[in-house]
Amino acid sequence: MGEVIEIGDLAIDVTRKDVKNVHLSVHPPDGRVTLVAPTSTRIDVARAYAITKIGWIRQQQGKLAQQAREAPRQFVGRETHYLWGRRHLLRVTECEGKPAVRLDHRTIHLQVRPGSTLETRAKVIHNWHLKLLHAAVPPLIKKWESRISVEVQGYFLQRMKTKWGSCNAEQRTIRLNTELVKKPRDLLEYVLVHEMIHILAPTHSPRFFDLLSTHYPSWSEARTELNELPIPAL
């Protein structure tokens, strides 16, 4: 079980890695706090550092608490759904036959069997989202492999509560949050580039940010936009 620093009502999960500096993060959607420290750092030193950052932690948690949250979807007609950053209306048709989804301008047509449950409808839409992402991601990987001079061995799509993406630098694999299908396409590209650069620089080191700034100069604006969008209702 990992170490935990407790400061009043605040619990901070501590992870030790081969890094040079302590790194503190506040994660959406619920403001969970983590601290990554060099393997040799004493826990009391890490705690003292965290105490100096309490004001910043509370500020970040406050921002997340005020951030808009998507209402849970019911998958009924005239409901709003987002795709690649654009608002669409859902139209549901019940009929015998294989469930299907079709996009027509700003309308998402969902065909399901009569009496289908919310869970069934959600799964049909989720599978459609996976199909769209599997069509969008490989061309982006190919595009950026040559630009960054890195080879990706594989990618995975997964619902994630606190991350937009992750990278296994040793295996050279990327994991992407399926919620990215609802965000503008350029933000999917930003997350992918971010994770691909982690293959070359596994931590958020100066080298990582140098590479990111070189290859994706607008990364800061993209990150801000992504973090200001409504938090998914998972």
For residue 2, pLDDT over 90 is answered with no
Q: Which of 77, 116, 78, 80 has the alpha carbon at shortest distance from 99?
A: 116
Top pLDDT among 181 and 160 is at: 181
Task: Map out the domains of the chain with their CATH numbers.
Answer: 3-66 (no CATH), 80-228 (3.30.2010.10)
For the segment 204-225, the average pLDDT, to the nearest whole number, is 90
For the segment 95-124, the average pLDDT, to the nearest whole number, is 93
**What does the pLDDT read at residue 26?**
86
What strands, in cross-sheet order, belong to the sheet with 154-158? 154-158, 173-177, 165-168
**What does the pLDDT read at residue 70?**
67
Average pLDDT over the chain reads 90
Q: Cβ distance 102 to 90 under 8 Å?
A: no
**What does the pLDDT read at residue 56?**
92
Give the span between the Cα atoms of 184 and 83, in whole angstroms: 8
pLDDT class for 227, splitting at 50, 70, 90? Answer: confident
For residue 231, pLDDT over 60 is answered with no
For the segment 117-144, the average pLDDT, to the nearest whole number, is 96
Top pLDDT among 137 and 64 is at: 137
For the segment 168-187, the average pLDDT, to the nearest whole number, is 95
Q: What's the predicted TM-score (pTM) here?
A: 0.72
Name which of 30-34, 150-154, 220-224, 229-233 the model is least confident about: 229-233
**29-72 pLDDT per residue, tens:** 678 899 988 999 999 999 999 999 999 999 888 877 766 566 67
pLDDT class for 112, splitting at 50, 70, 90? Answer: very high
For residue 21, pLDDT over 80 is answered with yes
**What does the pLDDT read at residue 145?**
97
**What does the pLDDT read at residue 232?**
60
Give the span between the Cα atoms of 80 and 233, in whole angstroms: 13
Q: Which of 37, 45, 129, 130 has the alpha carbon at shortest distance from 83?
A: 129
**Facing residues of 35 across strands?**
14, 24
β-strands 23-27, 32-38: how paired?
Answer: antiparallel
